[in-house]
Chains A and B, each alone.
Chain A
C-alpha cells in the first residue's frame, strides 16, 4: 500500500504539442523541453495573489461577516482553470 501511494504522487505527465503545419520537422526532445519551459506559468502571476473563493455561498458568508461587497468573476468555463 505504501508503494502504491508513492507512485500516485510520483507519476507526473508532461505533454507538449507540436503543430505539424508550423513545425513540420521531427518533434525532438530538445524542442519538447523548449516548449515545456515556454508553457510553464510563472508561480508569481499577479492574479494568483488575489484570494479567490470558488463557492458563491462561501463568498456570501464572508461578505456577511466582514461587511464587504462580493466581486464575482463569472465566465464561460471556469476562469481559474478552464480557459
Chain B
C-alpha cells in the first residue's frame, strides 16, 4: 500500500517503468519456493542480493533491478521515489542488454500456482483506517491512514450456489472472519486462528447480509467486536 501511494505514484518512475523497464510484481514468499524455472529464476536473481544470506529462509522483499541473463544490477528496500528514481536512472546509464534467450517455462509447480475455484467467485476486499488517530504530520503515516489495502477472497462453487439461494454457509463466514477481517493497511497482517473466532454470524435475507463477529486472541491483547452489513 505504501509503495502504491508513494514510489508508484511518482510520474517520473511511472514513465520509466512504462518505457525503459520490464516491470514485474511478485509475492516473494511464494516466488522463492516453487521448483522449476519460475522459482529458480528468482532464487538466482535474489540470491545475489543482501536478503539471501540465510538461504532463503527469511523474506527477500524489496526492489530489484536485474538483466535478462539473471545478473542482479541493483537492490533496494528503502522507500522513497527520489531514491528509487535515482537508482533506476543510474542503472539505465550504463546498461548493456545481454544477448540471451527467454527461459522456457517447463513444468509449473502447482503447489504455488493455485487457481480460483471453478464455478466460484473472487471477491475484492478493501480495508482502510477510518478514524481514531490524531492527524499525522509524517507523510508515511498520512499514507497509512488514508490509503486502501487490497485483497481477494475466493468463494467456492458450493458457497456461491448457497448465496444465490439466499444462504450463507458457515465455511464462508468462518473464512471471511479468519482471513479477511484483518488490518492489512500496513502490510501483511496476522490472520485469526480458529479458536480466536469467538463468534462469526452472517445471515442473508432479501439480498441484505447482516451479522456480527467477535475476534480475540487467548491473551486478550488483540481483538474486536464488529457488526457486519452487506448486499448480495
Contacts and interface: CB of A to CB of B under 8 A. Distances in A.
B148 interface: yes
A53 B23 CA distance: 6
Contacts of A12: 232
B214 to A, nearest CB: 9
Contacts of A19: 130, 224, 226
Nearest to B64: A72
A53 B226 contact: no
B136 interface: no
The main secondary structure of chain B at its interface with chain A is mixed
B95 to A, nearest CB: 6
B41 A32 contact: no
Given A68-B97, A76-B29, A82 B23 contact: no
Interface string A47-83: 1011111111111111111111111111111111111
Interface string A38-50: 1111000111011
A83 B209 CA distance: 25
Nearest to B101: A64
Contact of B68 (A11, A70, A72): A70
Nearest to B225: A20
A8 B3 contact: no
Contacts of B17: 50-51, 71
Given A11-B160, A69-B65, A77-B29, A20 B23 contact: no
Interface of B: 1, 3-4, 8-9, 11, 14, 17-18, 20-31, 37-38, 41-42, 45-46, 59-68, 70, 73, 88, 91-92, 95, 97, 100-103, 105, 119, 121, 123, 126-128, 130-132, 148-152, 155, 160, 163-164, 176, 181, 184, 187-188, 208-209, 224-232
Interface of A: 7-8, 11-23, 26-27, 29, 31-32, 35, 38-41, 45-47, 49-83
